[in-house]
Amino acid sequence: MSNFVRDFILMTKPRVWTFLLITGIAGEVFSLSILRSPNLIGFVYVALYIAIGLMGSESLSNYIDLDIDKKMDRTKDRPLPSGKMSPKVALTGGLILIAVTLILSYRQNILSFIFMATGIIDYDVVYALLSKRRTPWNIILGAYSGGAPLLAGFYAFTFKFNPVIILWFFIIFAWTPLHIWSLAIRYRKDYRDASVPMLPVVYDTKKTMQVLFPVSVLTSIFTILAGIYFMKYFQIYLGIAVMILYVFMAIYLMIGYLRAYLDPEKSIMKLFVSTNMFVGFFFLSVAIFSFLIPMT
């Protein structure tokens, strides 16, 4: 792999978009499973354009955030702010990838196209361009984009309303500020130096943790509700196992929050890691359980 390709991929934040791609794949597997449709070609096609769209969206956001990333110790060594990748390449490459994903998703169906398009607009325009530098509630305005790949994956194969997929979307929506603000507490100085008014910059740690309490509770409630609806797709014992797993994941998330609330300076990064583990394991389990639906 050439240095250019490697640096471009690194610029797209693969650790970020991989998590979001997992949610999109989970949506696909669930959709195809309840439809009893072993559409492997369609599955790969949709996963491909979701990945391309995520990479393009991240590339464009890096271009928008270049001046911020140069001022932050956490981000200054990334390919774009460090000079390894030119801003023109980031902008052009991002726009090309976005165009490709919009064309491919439109060819799949209109709903998947809408969710990909609105997710990109929310992340790059509403969040990165308009609200990130202006309001401490910026991540709330950008939370929709985190759930868009899930919706794009699910609705690539169906037009039917499904309460489970909506609850999964709300889990991501509520999880996003918990995830981002816990990281922002740890890197408060970076955001302050870059004049980015993240919530932990505007409010002290105690106030921020108080705001995160209802966020944690909502995420846990949505997780349990999702378990109640999801278990209906399985025979009784497997359904009970699904429900128990979802309850344990909700408890795991709340324990992570409470541990950070009691000692935020020591445990805040443990909360951040917990949120990563939660969403990764949650949607990996969704995909695995969804494979079993046609067999039950």
Model pLDDT for residues 97-124, shown as the tens digit of each residue:
999 999 999 999 999 999 999 999 999 9
Q: Which helix (H) or strand (E) holds 59?
A: helix 40-64
Using the predicted structure, report yes or no on whether residue 18 has a pLDDT greater than 70.
yes
CA distance readout (Å), 125 to 3, 138, 229: 29, 11, 34
34 shares its domain with 146: yes
Residue 196 and residue 157: Cα distance in Å, rounded?
39
Contact (Cβ atoms closer than 8 angstroms) between residue 99 and residue 59: no
**The pTM is what?**
0.94
Mean pLDDT of 239-268: 93
Contact (Cβ atoms closer than 8 angstroms) between residue 224 and residue 173: no
144 shares its domain with 266: no
Q: Please report the pLDDT score of residue 265 as a whole number.
A: 80
Q: Please report the pLDDT score of residue 31 as a whole number.
A: 97
107 shares its domain with 18: yes
The two three-digit tokens of residue 175, written as one number: 């999880």
Between residues 294 and 166, the one the model is more confident about? 166
15 shares its domain with 130: yes
32 shares its domain with 84: yes
Mean pLDDT of 137-146: 95
Residue 150 and residue 115: Cα distance in Å, rounded?
9
Burial-class residue 212 by CB neighbours within 10 Å (0-12, 13-18, 19+).
buried
Q: Could you tell me the CATH number of the domain that includes residue 104?
A: 1.10.357.140
149 shares its domain with 45: yes
Residue 32 and residue 291: Cα distance in Å, rounded?
9
Mean pLDDT of 14-24: 93
116 shares its domain with 231: no
171 shares its domain with 85: no
Domain end (from 159, 193, 215):
159
Domain end (from 137, 159, 181):
159
Residue 271 and residue 68: Cα distance in Å, rounded?
25
CA distance readout (Å), 249 to 101, 116, 174, 217: 33, 28, 15, 12
Number of Cβ within a 10 Å radius of residue 198: 25
Lowest mean pLDDT among 3-7, 139-143, 250-254: 3-7
Contact (Cβ atoms closer than 8 angstroms) between residue 65 and residue 129: no
Number of Cβ within a 10 Å radius of residue 158: 17
122 shares its domain with 21: yes
Using the predicted structure, report yes or no on whether residue 1 has a pLDDT greater than 70.
no
Using the predicted structure, report yes or no on whether residue 7 has a pLDDT greater than 90.
no
What tens digit of pLDDT does each residue of 22-46 get? Answer: 999 999 999 999 999 889 999 999 9
Using the predicted structure, report yes or no on whether residue 21 has a pLDDT greater than 70.
yes
Q: What share of the chain is helix, strand, coil (3-state, %, to 5)?
A: 80, 0, 20
Residue 222 and residue 171: Cα distance in Å, rounded?
6
Confidence band of 4 (pLDDT split at 50, 70, 90):
confident
Number of domains in the chain: 2
260 shares its domain with 169: yes
Helices 138-154, 14-34: crossing angle, 10 deg rounding? 40
Q: Tell which phi-psi region holds residue 2, choosing left (phi > 0), alpha (psi between -120 and 50) or beta.
A: beta
Q: Please report the pLDDT score of residue 3 as a whole number.
A: 79
Confidence band of 179 (pLDDT split at 50, 70, 90):
very high
133 shares its domain with 170: no
Domain ranges, residue 136: 1-159
Domain end (from 159, 178, 206):
159
